[in-house]
Amino acid sequence: MNAAPVILADGLTRRFGDFVAVRDVSFEVPRGSIFGLLGPNGSGKSTIIRMLCGVLRASAGRATVLGVDVGQDPERVKHRIGYMSQQFSLYPDLTASENLSFYGRIYGLDPERRRDREQAVTDLTQLAPFRERLAGHLSGGWKQRLALACALIHEPEILFLDEPTAGIDPVARRELWDLLFELAAGGVTLLVTTHYMDEAERCSHVGYLYLSRLAAVGTLEEMRNWPGVTPTGTRRIELTCRAPTEALARARRDERVVEVTLFGTALHLLVHEGVADEAVRAALAPGDASAATRSITATLEDVFVGLSRAEREAGHE
Amino acid sequence: MSGFLAVLLKEFAHIRRDRSTIVFVLIIPALQLMIFGYAIDVTIENIPLVVYDLDGRSDSRRLTEALVNSGTFRIEDRVQDAEAFRRALTSGKAKAGVLIPADYSERLLHGEQAHLQVLIDGSDSQVATTALNTVNLLVNQFAVERARGIAMQRNMAPARDDVGDPVLAIEVRSRLLYNPSLESARFFVPGLVAIILQLVLLFLTSFSIVRELEMGTLEQLFVTPVSRGGLLFGKLTPYALLAFLELMIVLTVMTTIFAVPINGSIPLLLGLSALFIVTVLGLGLLISTLATSQLQSMQFSFLVMLPSVLLSGFMFPRAEMPLPIYLISMVLPVTYFLEILRGIILRGADLIDLIPHVIGLSVICLIILTLSLTRFRKQVA
């Protein structure tokens, strides 16, 4: 990594009573990157973000954001970071522009600069037609845009987004990501949590959380080439056939198949190296002349499935 | 105090949008005061009385008339036999019964002691006490009158007044201060002002913070550089102003509709009310640091309200309370504010008269504020 990291987590741990929500998590986020924290629900993503934003104390470990230890002195970094939480957390009984002005004042912007910034974030998020509408009356996608606009009012250097696209439609989701790319291009560092695989593919860096533990972290390239994804002695093939769900059931019973995932009408299989394509077709799609196989490389999803398997086998459960 | 103005303006915007807050603060309390002010009337009048008059001559009639004229009793029934007399009491139709024996007038005439039987239903102790006192007093007066008449006939007396008429040896000259007509509204309405003010304020402040916790907006605020003081004072100041407005309204209702005048200094009353308002705001804040949902904050508020009504001296005199209960009453802000309100409004007390209560309220205020401010952190969970 060429620049000093803007976020540094070192052995971050958070316990709630007996439950360990985050266990010994360490990673670095370089300036200007889009860092995706991926993991199933309840894997500790939001807890990590809360600790990095200084609103939740770590039980152990340390987090440094923009050179400030957020466990020690969270207030020193708050005017330089923005946060968009998982649930919509603006005031539904205030209009979009009242919400914006409120956050502008909270960050202590003087009136002139506040007007400039309100204009800038309204332009960026294209909120202008909805300025006078009550925030509670906006649709899901526009709510998220308003939340983003509020989080950006003070030009933060780092923006934390906790599942920003949860519950909004695919078009709004894509548009929101276009906005995020625009921000990243402008030099803002983004830390995004998600459980959508395709969103992870848009990040420059990815960390994968599994059962409160950071199973793997690296650039997207490094993750794709994770050696554990296709263990030695195995290979990946794709099978297309007429009855993929039946083939899936057979594959699960076949001990030559290490791993199988259904992708639409095709199966992605991880099989022992010695098993020939013909044998796979004959075993999983018997009597289907249209069945076809081809060799494939691992997708990011395969990587995460592999990582979860490796974690399970390592006995962390 | 960074962010104070931002939060203040926002909170006013909420209040402006939410009509129910205005209604809750400004209209409901006035209505409550009127309803409760009329409902809570502890003057006991018109106790149903059953009369079993075996004598039936003018002396016995004069006695029953006197009982009715006292206002304490009304004649529920006149019965002619012992069974009906008993039945009237056991059925609960009458709460008191007077049995005048057949020889009542004769014995009086012959200078012998006449006997009167009075039965009182003791189930409601307050009614029973009032009935007993009234009968004793009246009959005593009758007896004294009679004694005076006889003394005059024989030209002897225990004492004489300036013109030489015989009088009682000792005369009590009592004067009822502050509430000469003994209206219970005088006593209860100032107390109600305190109770209603606390009720509204406690719910409003604890709700306004817990609502933000529930909506997630509080967490969002924690990530901003807003200071603790700016956030809290910005949120509480509008409610303090509303509370003051509410106080003005209920005091106006008190002086006009209930005709309870403020005998003491109004600036002193308002100043000490401000101290009480700040204390209750602190209490609301303390509740909001303990509660995680609006339902919980409501339960906590009731936990404060119930003793405030029952133990503060609003309903029952504190002097009668057993020590542990008395100690509980000492940590309730309402206890002190009640004394202050009644003192200034009814007795025209000044600051010097009220010093113990002012000190008590100040100490409670300081403790509550310190406790709630240290508990309130810009942290989740």
- At residue B350, does pLDDT exceed 50? yes
Task: Check: CB of residue B134 under 8 Å from CB of residue B102.
Answer: no
Which pLDDT belongs to residue B173? Answer: 82
Residue where one domain finishes, among candidates B132, B167, B202: B167
* Rg from Cα positions in chain A: 23
Percent share of chain A, pLDDT over 90: 59
Average pLDDT, chain A: 90
Q: How far is CA B164 from the centre of its chain?
A: 47
B17–A74 CB contact, under 8 Å: no
Which residues does chain B have within 8 Å of residue A88's beta carbon, measured at their own beta carbons?
216
- At residue B362, does pLDDT exceed 90? yes
Rounded to an integer, the average pLDDT of B120-140 is: 88
Question: What is d(CA B279, CA B285) in angstroms, rounded to the nearest whole number?
Answer: 10
**Among all residues of chain A, which has the CA nearest to that of B14?**
A93
Q: Are B51 and B30 in a shared domain?
A: no
- At residue B244, does pLDDT exceed 90? yes
Q: Within chain A, which residue ranges are assigned CATH 3.30.70.100?
A: 231-297
Rounded to an integer, the average pLDDT of A202-216 is: 91
- For chain A, the three-class secondary structure string (H helix, E strand, C coil) is CCCCEEEEEEEEEEEECCEEEEEEEEEEEECCCEEEEECCCCCCHHHHHHHHCCCCCCCEEEEEECCEECCCCHHHCHHHEEEECCCCCCCCCCEHHHHHHHHHHHCCCCHHHHHHHHHHHHHHHCCHHHCCCEHHHCCHHHHHHHHHHHHHCCCCCEEEEECCCCCCCHHHHHHHHHHHHHHHHCCCEEEEEECCHHHHCCCCEEEEEECCEEEEEEEHHHHHCCHHHCCCCEEEEEEECCCHHHHHHHHHHCCCEEEEEEECCEEEEEEECCCCHHHHHHHHCCCCCCCEEEECCCCHHHHHHHHHHHHHHCCCC
- At residue B268, does pLDDT exceed 70? yes
Give per-residue pLDDT as tens, A252-272: 998 888 888 888 888 989 899
Q: Which residues pair with A25 in a beta bridge?
A: A12
Q: Are B365 and B321 in a shared domain?
A: yes
Q: Are B370 and B293 in a shared domain?
A: yes
Confidence of residue A316 (pLDDT cuts 50, 70, 90): low
Question: What is d(CA A138, CA A23) in angstroms, rounded to the nearest whole number?
Answer: 38
Which pLDDT belongs to residue A75? Answer: 93
- Strand, helix or coil at B156? coil
Which pLDDT belongs to residue A1? Answer: 44
**Could you tell me the two tokens for B329?**
């009453």
Residue where one domain finishes, among candidates B133, B167, B201: B167
Phi, psi of B2 (to 5 degrees): -65, 135
- Looking at the complex, report in whole angstroms how far the Cα of residue A186 sits from the nearest Cα belonging to chain B: 22
B10 touches chain A (CB under 8 A): yes
Class of domain A231-297: alpha beta
CATH topology of domain A5-224: Rossmann fold (3.40.50)
CA distances for B31 relative to A126, B25, B196, B240, angstroms = 48, 11, 10, 21
CB atoms within 10 A of CB A317: 8
Question: What is d(CA A147, CA A164) in angstroms, rounded to the nearest whole number?
Answer: 9
**Could you tell me the two tokens for B62?**
């004069």
Rounded to an integer, the average pLDDT of B83-101 is: 91
Question: What is d(CA B19, CA B13) in angstroms, rounded to the nearest whole number?
Answer: 11
Q: Are B196 and B157 in a shared domain?
A: no
Which residues does chain B have within 8 Å of residue A55's beta carbon, measured at their own beta carbons?
219, 222-223, 378-380
Highest mean pLDDT among A81-85, A297-301, B205-209: A81-85
Interface test with B, best of A19, A87, A89, A106 (most B CBs within 10 A): A106
Rounded to an integer, the average pLDDT of B122-128 is: 85
Task: Check: CB of residue B34 under 8 Å from CB of residue B27.
Answer: no
A137 touches chain B (CB under 8 A): no
Question: What is d(CA A23, CA A268) in angstroms, rounded to the nearest whole number?
Answer: 32
Which pLDDT belongs to residue B381? Answer: 67
Q: Are B152 and B54 in a shared domain?
A: yes
Give per-residue pLDDT as tens, A22-69: 999 999 999 999 999 998 888 899 999 999 999 999 999 999 999 999
Instruction: Please give the residue range of the domain that contains residue B139.
Output: 47-167
- At residue B148, does pLDDT exceed 90? no
Rounded to an integer, the average pLDDT of B65-79 is: 89
Task: Check: CB of residue A77 under 8 Å from CB of residue A70.
Answer: yes
A5 touches chain B (CB under 8 A): no
Question: What is d(CA A150, CA A85) in angstroms, rounded to the nearest whole number?
Answer: 12
**Among all residues of chain B, which has the CA nearest to that of A101?**
B6
Rounded to an integer, the average pLDDT of A277-300 is: 87
CB atoms within 10 A of CB B319: 7
Residue where one domain finishes, among candidates B113, B136, B167: B167
Residue B147 belongs to domain with CATH number:
3.40.1710.10
Q: Are B84 and B66 in a shared domain?
A: yes
CB atoms within 10 A of CB A91: 20
Question: What is d(CA B216, CA A97) in angstroms, rounded to the nearest whole number?
Answer: 19
Task: Check: CB of residue A44 under 8 Å from CB of residue A22.
Answer: yes
A85–B220 CB contact, under 8 Å: yes
Question: What is d(CA B178, CA B198) in angstroms, rounded to the nearest whole number?
Answer: 26
Q: Are B232 and B148 in a shared domain?
A: no
